[in-house]
Chains A and B, each alone.
Chain A
Amino acid sequence: MGSALETGTPSFVDRFPQEASVVKAALTSSFIALFLGAVFGLIQGLHRTDVFRFLDSQYYYTVLTAHGVLMVVSFTIFFLVGIFTWAVVRSLDRPVEDIRYTWAWYGLMVVGTLMAVVAILGGFVPSTELSADVLYTFYAPLQAHPLFYGGLAIFIIGTWLAGADWFRSWYAWKQEHPDERIPLQTFMVLTTMLMWYIATIGIAIAVVGFLLPWSLGLIESVNPLLTRTLFWFWGHPVVYFWLMPAYLLWYTVLPSISGGRLFSDPLARVVFVLFLLLSTPVGIHHQYVDPGIAEGFKLIAMTNTMFLLLPSLLTAFTVVASMEHGARQRGGSGLFGWLRALPWRNPAFTGMALAGLMFAAGGFSGMINAGMNINYLIHNTLWVPGHFHLTVGTAVALTFMAASYWLWPQLTNKPLFSRPIALTQTVVWFVGMALMSNAMHVMGLFGVPRRTAEPQYEGFEFVASFGSITELRMQLALGATLLFISTVLFVSNIALSTGSPTRTGLGQPLSKPLSPAADSPEVLDNLKLWFGIAMVLVVLAYMLPLASIVGDSGVIDRGVSAAPVMIDLLTGLNPVTAVTEAVSRLSVAIVGVVP
């Protein structure tokens, strides 16, 4: 073993030390966001189930805004830029063109995040004007402090510049390799970024064109349906922006970890092209029950959405087949027996496999969400967070954590602090999410709303057709607690790894696909073509709905006035009393339990 250490594969940091620093910084930002997000998530899980409430309920929405933004903007996207930088540098096998530029976009993203987070946390301090209790969807005319919108804008600009960095690397590479196919990982990064450029048009117009000037008092009102529609123009493709790094890992890393090879490179390319084409012209499916949008537009959005299932269904096949290939190479046999031959003791494998399994379940609840009229049943109920904690909250989040167990040592030349803890962590996440998400789905079916601090009402009670609401609440709270514990295990395992002794040879090579890129038509690599078609589809899907919204109620609806989200000083608990009260309630609870 000793000699293996000396002769082992050089790691990413050995080969590209400067890039490894950026990737490490991005992942670190991502993990900080994950940890803070998990703290808020736990508070929500305990508060809305009435298991433990230590904040006045009006602060619930500050917490929820922080949770939403930290998780789905900071955690996911910082991880994405880290992994994409790694993937481009690794697959092109060349350093970035200018490392100062790379640090610059990372810096912008950090500044943007800090601005938004400061504005959000200001909501806990009633004596400041700072507040952004508008949730991560920031529907106007609820109005946040300009710092919040400004931060978002800067963050998005950072991601644009990051994309430019990767395109620049590819361009430079292409000059030296004119006749080669784009390496798969770079192909995935570039198609995802093209999708992102299209998608962010919506949010850029909403934030920079309307919400920021409006919060600064430069324009008097906005059209809430218009800004909402622009939000969802971005709000659906962002889902795929979270998901694509996970897909990249499933396609290019998971097969190697399973001991096999990717089943088909061409199909992977087809899948990413389909995502580029179909991710954006679907956003109206979040507005199935919005007034002011004709049913025909909703029907078009549904058709596109349903076809967007296709690349994910294809992915399920290819990825599982690659795992099966690994299992069979490792001696697995039988129709299902090969599953036992998979490396279940490897946390990177188990985490990704469990993430994929939950994605299969989340895929199903997503199909329900996508069905235009069945949406009446679950729209804005707890079913919906039940759904996306399986998708972004597990398929993406758990894959990221699992991949970190694999990648982090290659970025630092330090082995992971503890693999058994890592393995436990992935399983605890799976169990916690199974409980929390199941409870959320079921409560949603009984009509319990999402985004509500105290979903207990005076005039009526929710009727459970099986189980009881109390039971479901406990299940949700228990799940949330396990998830929090799992997050702590993950973050501390990574943090403790910095203390591991430095080693060499930690590099993990990736296997080649069984069916290589050469098997696929060259046209797949014609990014201009796919970008053009994607733009046409978006224009077709959005031109008429936007025109009719503007036609009906204007670019700006003067009848609508801003509703700034300031905490009422009289009813608002200040944080000091809130914390004292929390401590006293906690001690009462402890005294109650200890005999």
Chain B
Amino acid sequence: MQDGRDMEEEQTVRELSHDEFDPNGTLALIAVYFVILLAMWVFMYFVEFLGNELTVVG
């Protein structure tokens, strides 16, 4: 602890090489992020922006 590294940082229980490792969790997280982005974009553009008053038409 005092030497600046936690015991928990040392606990490598197995070594995974590039070929043994598929980042499934990352793919899942990023898919969730993608869905949020898409939904928020649609909401912001079509509801907040286009639904707002005074469109600049010229």
Interface residue ranges, A against B (CB under 8 Å): 1, 4-5, 8, 257, 259, 263, 316-317, 320-321, 324-325, 327-331, 334-336, 338-339, 343, 345-346, 360, 364, 367-368, 371, 373-374, 376-377, 409, 415-416, 419, 445, 503, 505-506, 508, 514-515
Pair A377/B17 contact, Cβ less than 8 Å:
no
Pair B30/A316 contact, Cβ less than 8 Å:
yes
Pair A345/B23 contact, Cβ less than 8 Å:
no
From 1 to 37 in chain B, residues with beta carbon under 8 angstroms from any chain A beta carbon are 1-6, 8-9, 11-18, 21, 23-26, 28-30, 33, 36-37
A374 and B40 alpha carbons, distance in the complex (Å): 13
Q: Pick the contact of A345 from B8, B17, B29, B52 — CB < 8 Å?
A: B8
Nearest 8 pairs of A and B residues by beta carbon = A321-B23, A514-B18, A331-B13, A321-B26, A320-B26, A409-B4, A415-B4, A374-B49
Pair A331/B11 contact, Cβ less than 8 Å:
yes
Q: Pick the contact of A329 from B2, B16, B18, B23 — CB < 8 Å?
A: B16
Pair B6/A377 contact, Cβ less than 8 Å:
no
Residues of B within 8 A of A8 (CB): 3
A373 and B40 alpha carbons, distance in the complex (Å): 17
A338-B3 CB under 8 A given contacts A330-B12, A331-B14, A445-B48: no
Pair B13/A368 contact, Cβ less than 8 Å:
no
A259-B28 CB under 8 A given contacts A325-B21, A377-B48: no
A310 and B11 alpha carbons, distance in the complex (Å): 34
Residues of A within 8 A of B1 (CB): 419
A503-B11 CB under 8 A given contacts A320-B30, A376-B56: no
Residues of A within 8 A of B21 (CB): 325, 328, 514
Kindly list 12 other residue pairs between chains A and B, CB separation below 8 angstroms, not including A335-B25, A409-B4. A1-B3, A4-B3, A259-B9, A259-B11, A320-B29, A334-B25, A345-B6, A364-B37, A367-B37, A374-B45, A506-B4, A514-B21
5 cross-chain CB contacts under 8 A: A327-B25, A343-B6, A364-B36, A367-B37, A373-B56
Pair A338/B25 contact, Cβ less than 8 Å:
yes
Interface residue ranges, B against A (CB under 8 Å): 1-6, 8-9, 11-18, 21, 23-26, 28-30, 33, 36-37, 40-41, 44-45, 48-49, 52, 56
Interface Cβ pair total, 8 Å cutoff = 99
Pair A329/B40 contact, Cβ less than 8 Å:
no
A325 and B24 alpha carbons, distance in the complex (Å): 10
A324 and B49 alpha carbons, distance in the complex (Å): 37
Say how far B2's CB is from chain A's closest CB, in angstroms. Answer: 6
Residues of B within 8 A of A345 (CB): 6, 8
Residues of A within 8 A of B2 (CB): 415, 503
Give the residue name and chain of the B residue nearest to A334 (CB).
B25
Residues of B within 8 A of A334 (CB): 25
Say how far A438's CB is from chain B's closest CB, in angstroms. Answer: 14
A153 and B52 alpha carbons, distance in the complex (Å): 43
Residues of A within 8 A of B25 (CB): 324, 327, 334-336, 338-339
Residues of B within 8 A of A409 (CB): 4
Q: Most chain-A Cβ atoms within 10 A of its Cβ — which of B18, B28, B41? A: B18
Q: Pick the contact of B3 from A5, A329, A360 — CB < 8 Å?
A: A5
Say how far B57's CB is from chain A's closest CB, in angstroms. Answer: 11
A329 and B10 alpha carbons, distance in the complex (Å): 11
Residues of A within 8 A of B44 (CB): 368, 374, 377
Pair B9/A343 contact, Cβ less than 8 Å:
yes
Say how far A404's CB is from chain B's closest CB, in angstroms. Answer: 12
Say how far B13's CB is from chain A's closest CB, in angstroms. Answer: 4
Pair A346/B3 contact, Cβ less than 8 Å:
no
A503 and B2 alpha carbons, distance in the complex (Å): 10
Pair B45/A346 contact, Cβ less than 8 Å:
no
A8 and B3 alpha carbons, distance in the complex (Å): 10
A345 and B45 alpha carbons, distance in the complex (Å): 40
Residues of B within 8 A of A503 (CB): 2-3
Give the residue name and chain of the B residue nearest to A337 (CB).
B25
Residues of B within 8 A of A5 (CB): 3
Residues of A within 8 A of B12 (CB): 259, 329-330
Give the residue name and chain of the B residue nearest to A506 (CB).
B4
Give the residue name and chain of the A residue nearest to B41 (CB).
A367
Pair A257/B9 contact, Cβ less than 8 Å:
yes
Q: Pick the contact of A415 from B3, B8, B36 — CB < 8 Å?
A: B3
Give the residue name and chain of the B residue nearest to A503 (CB).
B3
A506-B16 CB under 8 A given contacts A325-B21, A377-B52: no
A299 and B3 alpha carbons, distance in the complex (Å): 54
Pair B4/A416 contact, Cβ less than 8 Å:
yes
A324-B37 CB under 8 A given contacts A331-B11, A368-B44, A514-B17: no
Say how far A199's CB is from chain B's closest CB, in angstroms. Answer: 28
Pair A329/B6 contact, Cβ less than 8 Å:
no
Say how far B7's CB is from chain A's closest CB, in angstroms. Answer: 10
Give the residue name and chain of the B residue nearest to A410 (CB).
B4
A346-B8 CB under 8 A given contacts A320-B23, A514-B21: yes
Say how far A509's CB is from chain B's closest CB, in angstroms. Answer: 11
Give the residue name and chain of the A residue nearest to B5 (CB).
A508
Residues of B within 8 A of A368 (CB): 41, 44
A182 and B30 alpha carbons, distance in the complex (Å): 30
Pair A329/B13 contact, Cβ less than 8 Å:
yes
Residues of A within 8 A of B28 (CB): 335-336
A321 and B14 alpha carbons, distance in the complex (Å): 17
Q: Most chain-A Cβ atoms within 10 A of its Cβ — which of B1, B4, B12, B52? A: B4
Pair A325/B23 contact, Cβ less than 8 Å:
yes
A367 and B21 alpha carbons, distance in the complex (Å): 32
Say how far B36's CB is from chain A's closest CB, in angstroms. Answer: 8
Residues of A within 8 A of B9 (CB): 257, 259, 343, 346
